C-alpha cells in the first residue's frame, strides 16, 4: 500500500539523517540552559561544525558518501513538488502531513547547511510558509502539532542565516501560536494532558517537539 511505502521511506530518511549526524554531535550538561545557550545557529541537534564535517567524512568513507548522495538526491526531488496541504482524511489526524513536512524540512535544512545552495532554503520557505498558514496544527491529536513544531524549530534554526528578519518573525510567531500555546494548555489543564505523562511514544515525541520549538 502507498501509505505503508511512505512510512517506510520516512523511517529510512530518519535513520539516514541519524547516521550522518551520529558521532559528530555532542551535548554539554548545564543547569542554566538559557544563560549558556549558544548565540550562533544552528544549535538544535547539530552545529555548523557538525554540518561542515559531513563532506569531509564522506571523502573518507564510501558508505557515508553514498548516504549523503542519497539525501541530496532526495532533496533535489523536493524542489520539484508542491508543498504539503492541510489534510485530515480520517477526520482526526493531520499526522501524515506533519511527518511529510518534517522530513522535507530536515532534508532541505541539511542540504542547505552542506551546500549553501539557495534553492534549498527557498524551497524550505515555501513549505514553511504554507504550513504557517494552516488554520491550526490539529492540537486535538497532539502528535501532529509536535511534529510540525519540530519541523519549524529545525527550519528556523538550521536555515537561520538564510532568513530575513520578517521570515524569522513569522516562523517564531507560528511556533508560539500553533504549538507552544496549545502545549501550555496540555501542561496546565489535567483534562488535556494526554501526552504529558504518557508512558508510550506520545511522551517523547510531543515533549521533545515542544522543547525544540521553545
How much is the pLDDT for 24? 47
Fold of 40-213: Glycosyltransferase (1.50.10)
Average pLDDT over residues 56-83: 94
pLDDT at 9 > cutoff 60: no
How much is the pLDDT for 202? 86
Tens of pLDDT, residue by residue over 174-187, are 999 999 999 998 88
Give domain limits for the chain: 40-213
Are 131 and 152 in contact, with CB atoms under 8 Å apart?
yes
Average pLDDT over residues 137-164: 97
The structure's pTM equals: 0.83
Say what angle helices 142-158 and 118-132 make with each other, to 10 degrees: 150
Amino acid at each position: 500500500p502507498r501509505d505503508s511505502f511512505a512510512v517506510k521511506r520516512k523511517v529510512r530518511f530518519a535513520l539516514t539523517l541519524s547516521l550522518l549526524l551520529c558521532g559528530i554531535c555532542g551535548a554539554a550538561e548545564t543547569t542554566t540552559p538559557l544563560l549558556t545557550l549558544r548565540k550562533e545557529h544552528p544549535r538544535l541537534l547539530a552545529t555548523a561544525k557538525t554540518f561542515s564535517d559531513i563532506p569531509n567524512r564522506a571523502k573518507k568513507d564510501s558508505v557515508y558518501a553514498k548516504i549523503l548522495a542519497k539525501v541530496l538526491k532526495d532533496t533535489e526531488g523536493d524542489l520539484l513538488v508542491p508543498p504539503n496541504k492541510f489534510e485530515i482524511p480520517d477526520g482526526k489526524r493531520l499526522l501524515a502531513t506533519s511527518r511529510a513536512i518534517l522530513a522535507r524540512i530536515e532534508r532541505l535544512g541539511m542540504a542547505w547547511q552542506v551546500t549553501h545552495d539557495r534553492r534549498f532554503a527557498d524551497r524550505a520557505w515555501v513549505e514553511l510558509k504554507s504550513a504557517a498558514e494552516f488554520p491550526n496544527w490539529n492540537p486535538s491529536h497532539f502528535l501532529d502539532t509536535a511534529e510540525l513544531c519540530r519541523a519549524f524549530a529545525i527550519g528556523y534554526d538550521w536555515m537561520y542565516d538564510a532568513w530575513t528578519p520578517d521570515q524569522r518573525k513569522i516562523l517564531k510567531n507560528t511556533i508560539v501560536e500553533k504549538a507552544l500555546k496549545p502545549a501550555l494548555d496540555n501542561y496546565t489543564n489535567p483534562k488535556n494532558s494526554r501526552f504529558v505523562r504518557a508512558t508510550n511514544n506520545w511522551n517523547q515525541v510531543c515533549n521533545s517537539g515542544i522543547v525544540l520549538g521553545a
